[in-house]
Structure 1
Amino acid sequence: MSTPIPIENVRSALVVAAHPDDIDFGAAGTVALWTAAGVAVTYCICTSGEASGDPDRDEAEMARTREAEQRAAASQVGVEDVVFLHHPDGTLTASIELRRDITRVIRDVRPDRVLAWSPEINWERVPTTHPDHRASGEAAFAAVFPDSRNPHAHRELLDRAGLEPWTVRELWITDGPASLRNHVVDVTETFDKKMAALRSHASQVGDGVELERALRAAFGATARAAGLGEGSYAEVFQVVSTA
């Protein structure tokens, strides 16, 4: 696995995900390292996770619950800015409307780095390869390149909202095919924060005891495979320069 050198002097980062809790499963340890280093991180969540819970639950109440849980989870890793796009959960597509909405957030936040989900299937971990995840990743990629930097894309953002084009310098992709992953992040020192963030999603994970056991095994195996040694934990990404 070749390890690219991430860009330096990152001032702000944007993380785009399909559902509340996706970031905390996939990247919260890394996000906690970024915020500890002074990076301003914004979360952009495409849906409110309303397509979850018991079949007879109230959809609007579930959406409110999951949004509150995500805000609480974000605060565990130093993130206070959480944006919800309110696209429908379970039927997310990489539509021009979703691309426009993510582009709006990019031009508003003006991040140096965007982290998003892979638009490709990870055949090694099919349960995480939700169609909504891949749709959010495809739309986020299009928003990074070319939409956010193209003054002719989504003209209403410039003409009516005054949001100037912005070029994201670097894209981090999670949960993609193993052959494309090229950057390992040692999250041993922030793994407890990652688990605290996940336990904030009580409607989804309960008390989190069994989940923590499973994740320590999984992220520990990732660390060992990267040569970090016993007792370490790691998250892994594909890092892409957009220059």
Structure 2
Amino acid sequence: MTEPTTAQLKPMPDDWQRALAVVAHPDDLEYGCSAAIAAWTDAGREVAYVLATRGEAGIDTLEPAQCGPLREREQRASAAVVGVSVVEFLDHRDGVIEYGTALRRDIAAAIRRHRPELVITLNHRDTWGGVDWNTPDHVAVGRATLDAAGDAGNRWIFPELTEQGLEPWNGVRWVAVAGSNTPTHAVDATPGMERAVRSLLEHRTYIEALTEEDPESYVRGFLTGYAKSTGERFGGRPAVAFELFGR
């Protein structure tokens, strides 16, 4: 019998100028996405980050009042490594984000403010590859981001945003989901990999609480392993994968 072939990933579109990444927590983008973001900013594209929380419930040994500001600082430093200077926080509570109109409204407002052509978010499905259970925060924010891409362009959904001076933006052309088990597109990770490693390392406090392994060994092994595995479907080049939804 002939072995089944795995579909190759297509290159991500490059005919855009502005992107907005919307995720739940500090470090969500750095676990696999930032090599692509580094390549995009190198090419002169604008990327902004919006985080639903400050990750204040993410470290067991730190009280949220101490943890939130620390993780915010780490996130801003991490973003700067890959050329991102705009980092905003929506101040939903870490760990208990609720999918619903309030979250959709906040994300739609961010999309109207930044007017991106490409929106990036994280896996919104229940599991990672059908093996590991996803967190409620990731599911809620990913799903709300996909919905808010349409909400942002409809003046009759959340009309209060127009009253606040945020005119509808119907210019989102794609939503790219990182961490999907069914990716369709990819970006060559090679040019941005070293900065991706340094970017994730900026989350040192979180990483040191997560693993007893040397932080740089842990980060480099995780990111290069993921990129190499993805590259098997991208012409052998280490890659960052996305599931791309057109609009």
Q: Report the identity percentage.
A: 34
C-alpha deviation, 1:124, in angstroms: 2.2
C-alpha deviation, 1:233, in angstroms: 2.1
The aligned residue for residue 202 of structure 1 is: 204
Letter in 2 for 1:76: V
**Does residue 80 of structure 2 align to residue 78 of structure 1?**
no
Q: Does the 8 Å CA contact 1:185/1:234 hold for their aligned counterparts?
A: yes
C-alpha deviation, 1:23, in angstroms: 0.3
State which of 49, 63, 74 in structure 2 corresponds to 1:43.
Answer: 49
Letter in 1 for 2:18: S
The aligned residue for residue 190 of structure 1 is: 192
Counterpart-to-counterpart distance in 1, 2:67 and 2:18: 30
Letter in 2 for 1:137: G
The aligned residue for residue 19 of structure 1 is: 25
Distance 1:120 1:24, change over 3 A: same
Letter in 1 for 2:195: K
Q: Does the 8 Å CA contact 1:122/1:176 hold for their aligned counterparts?
A: no
State which of 30, 33, 39 in structure 2 corresponds to 1:33.
Answer: 39
Q: Does the 8 Å CA contact 2:23/2:50 hold for their aligned counterparts?
A: yes
Letter in 1 for 2:43: A
Counterpart-to-counterpart distance in 2, 1:53 and 1:192: 26
How does 1:25-174 map onto structure 2 within 5 Å?
A: 25-55=31-61, 57-124=62-129, 126-127=131-132, 129-145=134-150, 147-159=151-163, 161-167=164-170, 168-174=172-178
Q: Does the 8 Å CA contact 2:32/2:226 hold for their aligned counterparts?
A: no
The aligned residue for residue 221 of structure 1 is: 229
Q: Does the 8 Å CA contact 1:7/1:170 hold for their aligned counterparts?
A: no
Counterpart-to-counterpart distance in 2, 1:154 and 1:33: 35
Q: Does the 8 Å CA contact 1:4/1:239 hold for their aligned counterparts?
A: no
The aligned residue for residue 180 of structure 2 is: 176
Which digits, 9 at most, give the CA deviation of each residue in 1:145-204, with x for residues without a partner?
2x1000011111101x111100111111112233xx110211111111101000000111
- SS of structure 2 residue aligned to 1:172: strand
Counterpart-to-counterpart distance in 2, 1:9 and 1:162: 28
Indicate the RMSD between aligned Cα atoms, in angstroms: 1.8
Distance 1:238 1:25, change over 3 A: same
Q: Which runs of 5+ in 2 are unaligned?
A: 1-6, 209-214
Q: Does the 8 Å CA contact 2:11/2:187 hold for their aligned counterparts?
A: no
The total of aligned residue pairs comes to 234
Q: Which runs of 5+ in 1 are unaligned?
A: none
Distance 1:125 1:222, change over 3 A: farther
Distance 1:184 1:20, change over 3 A: same
Task: Identify, as 1 or 2, the structure richer in helix.
Answer: 1
C-alpha deviation, 1:9, in angstroms: 3.3
Letter in 1 for 2:29: I
Letter in 2 for 1:163: L
C-alpha deviation, 1:11, in angstroms: 1.6
Counterpart-to-counterpart distance in 2, 1:128 and 1:203: 24
Letter in 1 for 2:121: A
Counterpart-to-counterpart distance in 2, 1:129 and 1:203: 22
Counterpart-to-counterpart distance in 2, 1:3 and 1:210: 27
Distance 1:4 1:224, change over 3 A: closer
